Structure formats: structure tokens, C-alpha cells
Amino acid sequence: MRYLPKSPEDRKAMIAEIGVSSIDDLFSQIPGEYRLRRDLRIPRAMAESEIVDFFRQRASENAAGYALFLGAGAYHHYRPVIIDSLISRGEFFTAYTPYQPEISQGTLQVIFEFQSMICELTGMEVANASMYDGSTGATEAAMMAMRLTGRDAVVVASSVHPEYREVLSTYAKYQGVAIATTKFGDDGRVDLAALDEAVTTETACVLVQSPNFFGVIEDVAAIADIAHKKGALLVVSIAEGVSLGVVKAPVEADIVSLEAQSFGVPLSFGGPYCGVIATREKFVRQIPGRLVGETKDKKGRRGYVLALSTREQHIRREKATSNICTNQALLATVATVFLSTYGREGLKELAQQNLAKAAYAASVMGVKTQGAAESKNGAGAGKARVLFSGSPRFNEFVVQTSEDPHHINHRLLEKKIVGGFPLQKFYPELGNAALWCCTELNTKEQIDAAAREVNP
């Protein structure tokens, strides 16, 4: 086998040295009846060229090279090529968790820079080294709020990504957590009155997403007031990090859970992505996951170490803040390179381009409408409608059509365009609605072509 660095001679010598007569002697601790006496029923070893061919073929069965108008928690941004150049260095991608700081300063410093950038973006004071993704990050943030408040109930906005909410439910179910879902208004934002009603003195936290699942930016300050009034914390989940180039940081939040996929992490059919939790300094001892801190070595030279690890499972075991161990370090590295590349001005300009593309696309795809109400009688043959158009939004918008969006998408596929995400499954109340996303990668030409099929 080509990865194995041993010759038959080597093996023979080592077996002799150990003092057994054959390699199988070393497996004698496994009862005979459980030893596999046959080959695994998997295909024969393949040559490298065959493996590449296999995956090339699989790749060609996907929508490679199509114009993409999907967002919904996974965003298609240009990935500067230096990202892969840098993370392809074996020193980064073949290293383990930096438990030994003397020979892991590279990873440690990168993560420290990552944490610092996340703080800058979110307006928070501390950030961790990463979580699995936005969905588990939001869930862990809610659990963190429960620990901080000693309360057991969570109020979650229905405009939070439906799959995030499903994850939250799964985690909450067996911990006796009560989850209340609160609705969005005609403007596509959290219905503040309903929220006010839902939040009680039992509420550990309110969880909202901004921009929310419809691309609409929530009134975070108002939501914070409602939560804080009852002693609940506010958790803001952000699925589209690039929005932070133009959207106000959720400084009124107590915990921010960010999905950093937009920062250079490939779409990769949904993973691996890169969650991260940021919060206020005073809450740091309840933050889950790893943290990198700055310190000095014994000669006084600056360096970095894993900090506050008494929060974690490998020390605290069943009393840990989370069971997370392996995280998303390499993708945090990706995000750090991405954010260094765009920098202070670039992230702004990038976000502005996203804003402009989505605004243009919305303008050519449908007429503006305030709410979802019209959806009920949306059978008319009129032009498509852009819902929630009175609310501030970033790079996503909801288009309501008389035609089933699956049909539209089918037509679009023939033009090598992947259309918006049909919302029926998660929001049947919106009727024939689809969630469209435009990033800097969607050209005017693509947008115009798509608009023609939406309104044929």
C-alpha cells in the first residue's frame, strides 16, 4: 500500500524484535470468533488517477459552473486563492490541536488573530476558537445562556434558520429545555409585541438571527430591550458574516453566534463550516470550546497558549461547558486569511457590492410589497412580488410568484442557473415564495437572465 512506509523486511525485523511469530499474534486479544477472516467487501485499491477520475465524474454530476442564487445559510463568495495556498501548508493542515505551545505557536497565533477579528466584527469582547458551525454554535450559545442565567427556557424567532432551530430542538429535547417559537411580522422581522409576550422571567435567552432567514435585518436593539427587561440574555445568530461589512454589529447582544463560512470557506455541499461564539468578557468562563490567550514564555517573550481549559471536557468531564473537542481550526485559519485579505476597507466594499447586487436583483425580479399577507391570494398572473421590501435587508430577499418556484427553478436549471430556495417546506404560509441570494459573484447578466425566467 503506497501510503505505508514499511518494506517486508522492516516488518519481519520488527516482528522478530517483538518476539512474536506473526503479526496475527498481536491481535490475539481479540476473541477468535470476532476476528474478520475475510476481506472487507469494498472495492479493490484504486490508483490515484482512478480516484481522481471517480471524483471528477461525481463532480460533473453536480451543478458545477452554474450561476448560483442560493443562500439560506450557505453563501457563495469569491475565495481569494491565497487561502488555499496557505492552508495547504502541511504545517497548518497536518498539525493537531495546539496543546503543546512551544511547537504550536503558528496555529495559536492564527487563532488569537481569528478571535480578535471576530470581536472586531461582532462588537463583542471575547470570541472562542470556533464551533462546528452556525447551527450548533447558536445552540451552544443558548445553552451557555441557560448556564449563565440558571434558567431553562428559550424563546426563538421563527425567522431563525429552520435547520438551526431543528438542531436547537434536538439538543434541548432531552435537557428539559422549553423552547417557544415567536413569529415574524408582515415586515419579515421579529414581531416585537409577540416576543414581548413570549419572554418571561423563566426565559434564559432570546435567540434571533440577523440578517434573518429572509435576509431581513432585525431590530436588535429593540429585541435586546425586551429580553433584558425580563432578565433574559439576547443571543444573536449571524449566518452571513459578510453582512457585518455594512450592518451594525449586534452590540446589544450578550452572546453572538457567527457562522464564518462566508469568510472564504467553500460551500462544499454544506460542510465543514466554521461557527464561532463571541460574548462579553464577564461571561467568558461559560463560553464553550477552546480559547487562545496571550502570555509570555519564561524568557519574557510573547506567545500564545490554550487558555481557561478548565471549562473543557478533557479537564472537567461531565461538568464541562460543552462536549466539543475537535473544532474547526483550519477553517478559522481560512477566515483569518480571508479577513486579512479584505481588511477594514475591503469587507465594507464587499458588503456594499452584495447589497447592490441584491437590491438590483430584487428590483428586476419583482414589485415591492411590504408583507406576506398578499401571498394568500397570490394566484394572479401579475409580476412576482418581493416580500418584506420595506425592511432593511442585506443580500437575500424573498420573491413570491404565482408559479411554484420549483417549476421556475426547473426552467432555470436548463439555463445553467440555480434559482432561489423554495420556502414552502419551511414556511408554507408564504405560498409560492423563494429565497434568493445575490453576492458579488452574481453578474448583472446572470441576474437579468434569472429575472426573465421568474417573470417569463
Q: Of 17, 7, 38, 5, give the one whose Cα is nearest residue 26.
A: 17
The whole-angstrom separation of Cα 130 and Cα 119 is 13
Residue 137's identity, in one-letter code, is: G
Q: Supply 256's cell numbers.
A: 453572538
Other CB atoms within a 10 A radius of the CB of residue 347 amount to 22
Q: Is 416 in the site for its own copies (CB under 8 A)?
A: no
State in angstroms the smallest separation of the CB of 449 from its own copies.
Answer: 17
- By CB under 6 A, what part of segment 311-340 binds ligand PLP? 325-326
Closer residue to its own copies (CB): 52 or 367: 52
- Mark residues 264-283: x for contact with another protein by CB under 8 A, - for none: --xxxxxxx-x---------
Check if the beta carbon of residue 234 is closer than 8 Å to that of residue 208. Answer: yes
Q: Of 63, 118, 113, 440, give the one whose Cα is nearest residue 269.
A: 63
Check if the beta carbon of residue 202 is closer than 8 Å to that of residue 153. Answer: yes
- Mark residues 289-328: x for contact with another protein by CB under 8 A, - for none: -xxxxxxxxxx-x-x-x-xx-x-xxxxxxxxx-xxxxxxx
Q: Supply 102's cell numbers.
A: 512551544
Q: Is 48 in the site for its own copies (CB under 8 A)?
A: yes
3-state secondary structure of 391: coil
Q: Is 352 in the site for its own copies (CB under 8 A)?
A: no
Check if the beta carbon of residue 387 is closer than 8 Å to that of residue 427. Answer: no
- By CB under 8 A, what part of segment 62-101 binds another protein? 62-66, 68, 70, 72-74, 76, 80-82, 84-101
For residue 168, give Cα distances in angstroms to 142, 156, 164, 188, 254. 8, 9, 6, 22, 18
Closer residue to its own copies (CB): 45 or 81: 81
The whole-angstrom separation of Cα 96 and Cα 263 is 22
- By CB under 8 A, what part of segment 365-404 binds another protein? 392
- Mark residues 89-128: x for contact with its own copies by CB under 8 A, - for none: x---------------------------------------
Q: Is 28 in the site for another protein (CB under 8 A)?
A: yes
Q: Is 64 in the site for its own copies (CB under 8 A)?
A: no
Q: Of 205, 206, 230, give the one whose Cα is nearest residue 218.
A: 206
Q: Is 335 in the site for another protein (CB under 8 A)?
A: no
Closer residue to another protein (CB): 159 or 327: 327
Q: Supply 169's cell numbers.
A: 430542538
Pick from another protein, ligand PLP, its own copies, none: which does 269 bind, CB < 5 to 8 A by kind?
A: another protein
Residue 95's identity, in one-letter code, is: A
Q: Choose, by CB under 8 A, the member of 21, 22, 49, 57 that binds its own copies.
A: 49
Closer residue to another protein (CB): 114 or 226: 114
State in angstroms the smallest separation of the CB of 78 from its own copies.
Answer: 5
Q: Is 356 in the site for its own copies (CB under 8 A)?
A: no
Q: Supply 160's cell numbers.
A: 431563525
3-state secondary structure of 298: coil
Interface contacts to its own copies, rule CB under 8 A? 48-49, 52, 78, 80-81, 85, 88-89, 441
Interface contacts to ligand PLP, rule CB under 6 A? 325-326
